[in-house]
Structure 1
Amino acid sequence: MQSQTNYAGIDISKLFFDVAISIDGRYEHYKFSNDEAGFRSLLKLLSLDSQVVMEASGPYYLKLACYLYRNGIAVSVVNPLVIRRFCQMRMTRAKTDKKDSRMIAEYGKTEKPALWKIPEQQVITLQQMEALVLNLNKEITALSNQLESFTHSGMLIRQLEKMIRKELVHKQKRLQELTDVMEKLAEQHYAEMLANLESIPGIGKKTAMMLIVLSGGFSRFDDHRKLSSYIGICPRIFDSGTSVKGKQRICKMGMSRIRAMLYVCTWSAKSCNRSCKELYDRLIAKGKAKKQALIAVANKLLKQAFAIATQKTKYNENYSNNICF
């Protein structure tokens, strides 16, 4: 007879993590330091039939998740938004680390999330580089806006303007260097996948690389719908009975940068990608708004990218139906 899985919920932060473990039908709560000593203390409380569930809380979960995985403990890493929605469904109002860890354990027991495995090193490195790229872009935008504001004031002295422009050039140079390193790393490990993705009309090299980074080489998601939801371009409809009516919008719970890149790709795809063009023309003929049609095209591109990457083939519009385009 197969033993029952014993779920443990972990709410983790930079310095500590709270653990809720079900023992004899009730939850026991523990608090440990987020370091090797805390990891060893937790491991003593777990058995081989335990499954630990934790949120993907920035970088803080990764070291503990890797430690448990290497010691034979089943681990699930869940999007924090999913846990938040689960708590809302349970009408949970209290917000404490102790309560959160228990709700995470309850989520594991109820939903039985998929098991996590350690990402490959190049995936982690590319994701860390992408985080740096995002921060640099924000800094460049903020500095550019500040320069424009100072210039319009009419009171900007030449010395300060030179300092700001010099800093802008420095940040832009760092951004280009980091982007070049990312491209080389992606080509080193995902050369075939990059080439296949770039064969899709409308998708360029930067978008292809970004999709590989976010999806862990298209290994993190079972189907294109989950990837679409993660990125945040899945449609969300406000329509309930006769009293609640609204426009169809995208669910902006994902990453703004990749959404923007995909949206730009749609302008080319709606003309040169046959499946995307047919979809766009059909929606426009039905009276749909252009933006709504372009969002549908973005989803179509994502579906094509998922099929191309997972089936290791190049785009061919004559055989699009055979690979789920």
Structure 2
Amino acid sequence: MKNLRDVIGIDVSKSTIDATLYHSKLHSVFANDEHGYMGLITWVDGQLESGSYFFCFENTGNYSLKLSLFLSSKGLPYVEESPMRIKRSTGLTREKTDKLDSYMIARFGWMYREELVFSEIRSKEFQELGRLLALRDQLVRDRSGLKSTLKEQKHLLSSPSTDTCCKTLRRCIDHLDRQVSRIEKKMQELMKTNDLLYNNYRLLRSVKGVGLILSCQLLYHTGNFNKFENWRKFSSYCGIAPFEYSSGSSIKRRKQSHYIGDRKMKTLLSMAAVSAIQSDQELKLYYHRKLEEGKHKMIALNNVRNKILARSFAVIKRGTPFVNIAATNY
């Protein structure tokens, strides 16, 4: 990015996008659709020389996805960054408007232009996998809510209408069960459309505790294990890597994981760790050894989570399924 002389910060909302040129601070608003994107390009080309700038905006899910697809199709350089990272770079701000946000995004892009890497649109397989995972999560949350309601309704069976309510809730839950199963089947079929993706999927499934959802989430978040160099960096991304916290001689705490991380991945890895402790003799012994050393059970569980990540990255790097050596010795 050394040859680029300006950056356009874009604040993306549902219906509009606010764009600001960093150096001149020129600002304009466009519709968040293809017609608005064409207007954005025309406006920018009228102010800056072609090839001398790049776009920077926050990853806001479906709202920013349309803009990413458009810029990629036109071959224009852009950086789609985490909202948390941009927010923490702004310092103390008392005012919040879309115009100001777009300028602060442009400021972030210019300040960190030497470190930033241009974003690339995900392949169609990964876009579809992301949508399926998000939809499944939504359906599972809805199903959990209905199950809680059904449990409460069962305490009111003395009411004449309660039985009808329970039957309706059961039908809704059964319907969601079928839809979740259908999505999971579609995810398995999607894995088979790409040989490299399917091969890594099968390798991940060989690791104890790694099931369908966790393996798909690992493949999606790591970009088929191309975005992270090693499991330690991905552990930090998930929020389960321990960090030191000390300052001088007065502040010195034990190492602990940071609260910033991907909560979904952290939850899935916790479930995988609990399952692995029950089904994998080596991890079970490892977990209990940590408890005997005096570690809190949550710290021991976190060690198991990192073990699962280390195994997952190892099987992908080696290209061979995981073999539990300890189990073969029993």
SS in 1 for 2:63: coil
**How far off is 1:115 after superposition?**
1.2
Question: What aligned pairs does 1:67-82 form with structure 2 within 5 A after superposition?
Answer: 67-82=70-85
**How far off is 1:247 after superposition?**
6.4
Counterpart-to-counterpart distance in 1, 2:166 and 2:69: 48
For the structure 1 residues 282 and 160, does the alpha-carbon distance in structure 2 shift closer, same or farther, using more than 3 Å as the test? closer
Counterpart-to-counterpart distance in 1, 2:285 and 2:99: 52
Partner of 1:321: none
SS in 1 for 2:101: helix
Q: Deviations over 1:136-157 (max 9, x none)?
A: 0111011111111122234352
For the structure 1 residues 307 and 29, does the alpha-carbon distance in structure 2 shift closer, same or farther, using more than 3 Å as the test? farther
Residues 43, 68 of structure 1: 8 Å contact kept: no
Residues 11, 19 of structure 1: 8 Å contact kept: yes
Residues 4, 51 of structure 2: 8 Å contact kept: no
**How far off is 1:173 after superposition?**
1.0
AA at the equivalent of 1:177: R
Partner of 2:148: 145
For the structure 1 residues 308 and 232, does the alpha-carbon distance in structure 2 shift closer, same or farther, using more than 3 Å as the test? same
Counterpart-to-counterpart distance in 1, 2:230 and 2:101: 29
Q: Deviations over 1:198-236 (max 9, x none)?
A: 233432343212211233322343443443343332335
SS in 2 for 1:188: coil
Q: Deviations over 1:165-220 (max 9, x none)?
A: 11111111111111111111123322210111123343234321221123332234
Residues 123, 217 of structure 1: 8 Å contact kept: no
SS in 2 for 1:27: coil
For the structure 1 residues 278 and 166, does the alpha-carbon distance in structure 2 shift closer, same or farther, using more than 3 Å as the test? closer
Partner of 2:193: 188
Partner of 1:38: 36
Q: In the alignment, is residue 16 of structure 1 matched against residue 21 of structure 2?
A: no
For the structure 1 residues 66 and 173, does the alpha-carbon distance in structure 2 shift closer, same or farther, using more than 3 Å as the test? same
**How far off is 1:14 after superposition?**
1.3
Residues 245, 251 of structure 2: 8 Å contact kept: yes
Using structure 1 for the length normalisation, give the TM-score: 0.84
Counterpart-to-counterpart distance in 1, 2:134 and 2:207: 26
For the structure 1 residues 65 and 143, does the alpha-carbon distance in structure 2 shift closer, same or farther, using more than 3 Å as the test? same
AA at the equivalent of 1:292: I
Counterpart-to-counterpart distance in 2, 1:304 and 1:99: 45
Counterpart-to-counterpart distance in 1, 2:310 and 2:76: 34
Q: In the alignment, is residue 291 of structure 1 matched against residue 298 of structure 2?
A: yes
SS in 2 for 1:26: coil
2:206 to 193, 199, 207: 199
Partner of 1:163: 168
Identity %: 29
Q: In the alignment, is residue 109 of structure 1 matched against residue 116 of structure 2?
A: no
Q: In the alignment, is residue 120 of structure 1 matched against residue 118 of structure 2?
A: no
For the structure 1 residues 224 and 101, does the alpha-carbon distance in structure 2 shift closer, same or farther, using more than 3 Å as the test? farther
Unaligned runs of 5+ in 2: 326-330
Q: In the alignment, is residue 261 of structure 1 matched against residue 268 of structure 2?
A: yes
For the structure 1 residues 82 and 137, does the alpha-carbon distance in structure 2 shift closer, same or farther, using more than 3 Å as the test? same
Counterpart-to-counterpart distance in 1, 2:117 and 2:318: 22
Q: Which moved more, 1:67-76 or 1:118-127?
A: 67-76
For the structure 1 residues 124 and 142, does the alpha-carbon distance in structure 2 shift closer, same or farther, using more than 3 Å as the test? same
AA at the equivalent of 1:4: L
SS in 2 for 1:61: helix
